[in-house]
Amino acid sequence: MSSLASPEQGWWKPFPRHEKAWLTIIIIAAVVLSAITLGWAVMGKQNVPVASYKATPEQFEKQVADFTAKYQIPGSPGEVRVPEGQDGFMMASMWSFTPALHLKSGKPYTIWLSAKDVLHGFSITGQNLNITAAPGHAYGIRITPDKPGTYLIVCNEYCGLGHQGMTGKIIVE
Q: pLDDT of 23-70, one tens digit each?
A: 889 999 999 999 998 887 777 666 566 688 999 999 999 999 999 999
Q: By three-state DSSP, how is residue 62 classified?
A: helix
**63-114 pLDDT per residue, tens:** 999 999 999 999 988 999 999 888 999 999 988 999 999 999 999 999 999 9
136 close to 91: Cβ distance less than 8 angstroms: no
Contacting residues for 21 by C-beta, under 8 A, at least 6 apart: none
Contacting residues for 169 by C-beta, under 8 A, at least 6 apart: 97, 100, 101, 150, 151, 152, 153
Q: Domain 51-172 in CATH: superfamily?
A: Cupredoxins -  blue copper proteins (2.60.40.420)
Q: Which is higher by pLDDT, 134 or 43? A: 134
- Domain extents for the chain? 15-44, 51-172
Q: What whole-number distance in Å separates Cα of residue 129 and Cα of residue 119?
A: 16
